Structures are given as structure tokens and as C-alpha cells.
Amino acid sequence: MRLDKYLSDMRIGTRKEVKEIIRKGRVKINDSIVKKSDIHLSESDIVMVDDRVIEYLEYEYYLLNKPAGYITATDDNFQKTIMELIDSKRKDLFPLGRLDKDTEGVLLISNDGVLGHHLLSPKYHVDKKYYVETDKPITPEAEEIFSKPMEFDDFVASPARFERIDDYHAYLTISEGKFHQVKRMFERIGTRVIYLNRVEFAFLNTDGLSKGEYRHLTKEEIKELYKLANLNMK
């Protein structure tokens, strides 16, 4: 990989800024100052900027508290996308799963395709817990109905965990993530979802994050996700 790409991938600056930093002699490879941006690095090279070692992290993992009004897509000509909320120069990031435009809450964003694929596969049953507000009182039979498989034209929803808060509010935990799944499940019991917030994705929640804010996952959290997805850490 070229030195300037390495440094801009690691958010030292834009490609142009990084070239300037290199030209000024602030960058060392294996303790020697280099002034050329197009140098190709080998795996064992140690890169420093202002004497600080810059490690190359191949993958990035973000937890976003998605606000309403943003679509879950990498780009769109007309609507705001969740990517606009993430300040990263990496072009290969994508959302792990999707939330509707009006849904809020936990959304993971990464460039780790293998982990994403496994986490979203129905095979690994990662729980997603939603806070739901409805337009009408939730039927007393909701718990019983949701505790059984629910058949739709395109899939069968596995039994879900329903926790009533009051007549208009509840939590529903599902392990799949089909299109409009929670809204469709509540339609089945005669109520429309008027507010939806994913409060948990596996063990992750939005504690400490205002709407629109995000944080990097910790190493421990990434390890835990790998375990859930039945993968070995790279």
C-alpha cells in the first residue's frame, strides 16, 4: 500500500494534507524520515507521524444511535443517509442490517463483510430488541400470539419475546431482521407501530449516545460479536 493512502485511511488527514505532512518531513518509516508519498509499504514497516506509531487498522466498527429521517443506505441522491453521520474517510463502510427511515436506535456500521454476513444470517440468531409504541391498545393476546411462529408470504417469523410496558408500549425481541418485520408483526395483532426504536442489538445498546451520535466498538465488543457469529477473530 502507498504511504499516503495508509495515512489517509488512518485519518491522519485528507490525501492532500497527508502529502504535505510527508513533504514536511514529519513521517518516518522504520525510524528514517521519508519525503515521498508514493513509497510502497511492506507488512513489517513501522510508520510514524511526529514520532507516534500509526498502526493500520483494516476494519472499523461503529455503533450509531440512528435518528429518524435518515435512510439506511451508503448513498442516495435525494435522501439523507446514515453514512452522513459517520466521520470516516473509509469508502468501504456499510450498515450491518437496516432500520427504516423512521426507526431509531442501534445500528452497526463496518467494513467487515464477513462479520456482517454472519451477524445478519438467520443461522446465528442474534437478538434484536425493539421498543414499540402503537396507535391503539395492544391486545391482551399479544404475548401468546408472538410466542408462536408467525407466517408471512415471504418468511416465517420465529417465536418472539414480548414484554408489555402498558397498553400502548412494549418491547419485542426478534432474531431475524426481515423488511418491516416488527411493524408487520404488530399489524397482525391489529395495531400500527407509530414509533420504533431498536434498543439492543445482541449485547449492544445506545447508552451514552444521543440521537445521531456514534462511537467505535471496543476490542472486547468486537471479540464478543465474533463469538456470537461463530467466527475466529482475524
DSSP 68-121: TT-BSSS--SSS-BGGGG-----S--EESS---TT-EEEEEEES-HHHHHHHHS
100 assigned to active site: yes
Q: Which of residues 88-117 bind ligand URA (CB under 6 A)?
A: 99-100, 103
| 3-class secondary-structure state, position 47 | strand
170 binds ligand URA (CB under 6 A): no
Report in angstroms how near the CB of residue 196 gets to ligand URA at its nearest. Answer: 6
Lay out the site mask for ligand URA across 44-83 (x = CB under 6 A, - = otherwise).
Answer: ----------------------------------------
Report in angstroms how near the CB of residue 61 gets to ligand URA at its nearest. Answer: 20
Report in angstroms how near the CB of residue 180 gets to ligand URA at its nearest. Answer: 4
Spatial CA neighbour of 110 closest among 130, 86, 134: 86
200 binds ligand URA (CB under 6 A): no
CA–CA gap between residue 113 and residue 128 (Å, rounded): 20
Torsion angle (degrees, nearest 10) of CA 114, 119, 120, 126: 170
**Per rule CB under 6 A, count of chain residues that contact ligand URA:** 8
Lay out the site mask for ligand URA across 177-196 (x = CB under 6 A, - = otherwise).
Answer: ---xxxx------------x
C-alpha cell read off for 31: 525510524
Task: Report, as residue numbers or ranges, the catalytic residues.
Answer: 100
